[in-house]
Structure 1
């Protein structure tokens, strides 16, 4: 009985020490130290990442500003405010710069009814820097990421896109996206060979004479469907044979009357001369 009492007393003392106020305080201190240390480490990593991103962004903006002042400020002003030779770029957004510069339309070689497509004069990094600088001055549409949404093999997307294109775009760009003439020396360019990103940017920025199709008029999904249709037309040949540039029935009719009938008449005259 004495041995059992001693063991019971020893066990009770150990439990008492474990539950004592000092033990509780110690456990809380250890828990706080571990939690605080972990939070500080994560916060420091996040701060380092943010600082690095900010440095890259500011560096890109600075590089874009230098490029702008050297190549664009003559027409658009040192502060993007615009001049008599070019409009203000405040608020046009990165997407507008990426489209205009990325397709070679800007800088313009000569003044005219509209900017002509030509060889791109800047690298991709320089275009990104110019876009970042313009976007830093005034907010506007950002460069879209649409490549994954475009699928020229999806029958539903192509079908829906064809209907949307016919209703919203075909009156200027032709039902096959081949382009067409407008007034005062202006024209709607061909959409064949144009990247999906640039087509999307044109819809949200409205370059030249093109209206802006915001997300209320044409949703992002519908824009991707329109591009899917254009990419389908681009990658599939005309089922009727030579498409004559896909510029419509008037051109095809003129071809038949002038070239076709002219060939028939010429062949008839040749046969008559041979008979004589």
Structure 2
């Protein structure tokens, strides 16, 4: 006992205990750390970037440059993030058919796997908005539609119309209809601000508010019934008045002509 107590009081005893603890901790970490999974994820990411680079060189580099630096016909992609690529390519806007005031939505030519590879390559240029997860744009609260309606009318209705039917802007530009747009792409548009649209990062519009807007747009364009009958594009009283003048007044004029013609024939006979 006296010998053991003497060893405990030795000046190097604390150092020996510390070294022993570090050795045990390192051994446990080496035994249980998910090194293989991390290496597999890194390898998969590198493969996606390599495949994306190949696709980018064929379909995008002629306008955006081999390294996304931009050119006279296409903007720089440094810092746009994977969300911008998923939106632009996932809605068929890119690759663009031809330059113009605005690039329209069209048929998608890449598979989702190829879009993910392109997004991984462009994301490697610099940090930017990332593709959202399903939880970020899928609403589970019944109150989100009402709250999203308030946010939409404040921030979006000036261009997209109060029902998301779209509208004209200046110099040949327009705000597209939101009918049938994937909820993920609506969220990404708010993240990245494509073409004429302003961006709404989390510092300006928190994630919860973007989710509420997505819930409102989905409800309005896909689920909400139209008790008035023909929606006429939900463009408001101008369209309704034009419909009334052209078809309503036109029908009255046609009936009046028919009555006058038959009255004349009756008098002659």
Spell out the pairing of 1:214-225 with structure 2 (5 A cutoff). Answer: 214-225=201-212
| Counterpart contact for 1:75–1:84, Cα < 8 Å | yes
Counterpart of 1:248 in structure 2 is 236
Point out the more displaced range, 64-73 or 255-264. Answer: 255-264
> For 2:200, which of 193, 213, 224 is the aligned residue?
213
Could you list the runs of 5+ residues in structure 1 that have no partner in the other structure?
A: 1-15, 20-27
Secondary structure in structure 2 of the residue aligned to 1:137: coil
| Counterpart contact for 2:163–2:234, Cα < 8 Å | yes
Displacement, 1:41?
1.9
Counterpart of 1:108 in structure 2 is 96
| Counterpart contact for 1:77–1:83, Cα < 8 Å | yes
2:218 maps to 1:228: no
| Counterpart contact for 1:147–1:197, Cα < 8 Å | no
Displacement, 1:155?
3.9
- Distance in 2 (CA, whole Å) between partners of 1:35 and 1:205 is 44
Secondary structure in structure 1 of the residue aligned to 2:143: helix
Could you list the runs of 5+ residues in structure 2 that have no partner in the other structure?
A: 5-16
CA shift digits 1:211-246 (9 cap, x unpaired): 011223221111111111111112222121110011
CA shift digits 1:174-208 (9 cap, x unpaired): 00000011111111000010011100100110001
Secondary structure in structure 2 of the residue aligned to 1:239: coil
Q: Give the 3 Å change call, closer, same or farther, for CA 33–165 of structure 1 in structure 2.
A: closer
Counterpart of 2:57 in structure 1 is 69
Q: Give the 3 Å change call, closer, same or farther, for CA 263–137 of structure 1 in structure 2.
A: same
2:110 maps to 1:135: no
Displacement, 1:170?
0.4
Secondary structure in structure 2 of the residue aligned to 1:90: coil
Displacement, 1:271?
2.4
Q: How many residues align?
A: 249
> For 1:196, which of 171, 183, 191 is the aligned residue?
183
- Distance in 2 (CA, whole Å) between partners of 1:33 and 1:199 is 52
> For 2:31, which of 19, 23, 41 is the aligned residue?
41
Secondary structure in structure 2 of the residue aligned to 1:192: coil
Displacement, 1:37?
5.4
TM-score by length of 2: 0.86
Displacement, 1:150?
3.0
> RMSD of the alignment, in Å?
2.3
Displacement, 1:263?
1.2
Counterpart of 2:45 in structure 1 is 57
Q: Give the 3 Å change call, closer, same or farther, for CA 101–82 of structure 1 in structure 2.
A: same
Displacement, 1:133?
0.4
Q: Give the 3 Å change call, closer, same or farther, for CA 37–159 of structure 1 in structure 2.
A: same
- Distance in 2 (CA, whole Å) between partners of 1:99 and 1:236 is 25
- Distance in 1 (CA, whole Å) between partners of 2:151 and 2:37 is 43
